[in-house]
């Protein structure tokens, strides 16, 4: 046997799995979960927009708290959608995503 034949047989490059466009997948949010998360993001964004419309208030403490919670809900729901609908979920692994 030639060394070249053995070398060629053992070092063939492995085929990479085909990449999805933009790395998007819907397999981690099946059924009703994806529409629910999308609706949550839309409603929390709507809450932020409605809060910004208020120009004058007498006691603004509750309004500021509402702004903080609705903005936090919007950002967290976007983060959840990004993690579960892209390759990030598979990159980090299910155990790390569940822990976070």
Q: What Rg do the C-alpha atoms of the chain give, in angstroms? A: 23
- String of DSSP letters for 10-46: H-PPPPPPPPPGGG---TTSTTTHHHHHHHHHHHHHH
pLDDT band with cut points at 50, 70 and 90 for residue 78: very high
Q: Is 61 among the domain residues? A: yes
Q: Is 1 among the domain residues? A: no
Q: Is 9 among the domain residues? A: no
Q: Is 39 among the domain residues? A: yes
pLDDT at residue 83 tops 80? yes
Q: Is 78 among the domain residues? A: yes
Percentage of the chain beyond pLDDT 90 is 24
pLDDT band with cut points at 50, 70 and 90 for residue 56: confident
Q: Is 42 among the domain residues? A: yes
Q: Which domain does 41 fall in, by range?
A: 34-96
25 compared with 38, residue with greater pLDDT: 38
Q: Report the b/e string of 75-85 with b at 16+ CB within 10 A.
A: eebeebbebbb
Q: Is 54 among the domain residues? A: yes
> For the chain, what is the domain count?
1
């Amino acid at each position: 046997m030639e060394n070249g034949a053995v070398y060629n047989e053992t070092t063939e490059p492995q085929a990479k799995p085909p990449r999805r466009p933009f790395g998007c997948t819907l397999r981690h949010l099946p059924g009703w979960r994806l529409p629910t998360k999308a609706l949550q993001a839309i409603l929390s964004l709507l809450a932020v927009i409605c809060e910004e419309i208020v120009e004058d208030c007498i006691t603004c403490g509750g309004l500021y708290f509402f702004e903080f919670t609705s903005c936090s809900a919007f950002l967290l729901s976007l983060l959840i959608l990004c993690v579960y609908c892209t390759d990030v979920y598979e990159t980090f692994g299910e155990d790390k995503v569940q822990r976070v």
